[in-house]
Amino acid sequence: MATWNDYKNHVRESNPEIGRDIDEVEEIAKIVSAMIDQRHNLNFSQRDLAEMCGLPENYG
């Protein structure tokens, strides 16, 4: 397989359940990425955001 997309398509065809898992992980990654981008756009550090949410910086 030449690319990551080729592999994902192969997995989707071979095992639809795992294909759905890949899709879900990619959607979650898009959301997390958008949140990080917005945090950067607002010039908030992880520490700033954690304090605003009432969480320790290394929560989780």
Quote the number of domains for the chain: 1
Residue 6 resides in a domain: no
Residue 11 resides in a domain: no
Domain that holds residue 43: 16-60
Structure tokens at 20: 């759905």
Residue 5 resides in a domain: no
Residue identified by tokens 């690319």 is: 3
Residue 37 resides in a domain: yes
Report pLDDT for 20.
94
DSSP SS3 for 32: helix
Report pLDDT for 57.
65
Residue 8 resides in a domain: no
Residue identified by tokens 């605003």 is: 52
Residue 2 resides in a domain: no
| pLDDT one-digit tens code per residue, 1-60 | 699 999 999 999 999 999 999 999 999 999 999 999 999 999 999 989 889 999 886 655
Residue 24 resides in a domain: yes
Residue 3 resides in a domain: no
Report pLDDT for 60.
57
- Residue 49 amino acid letter: L
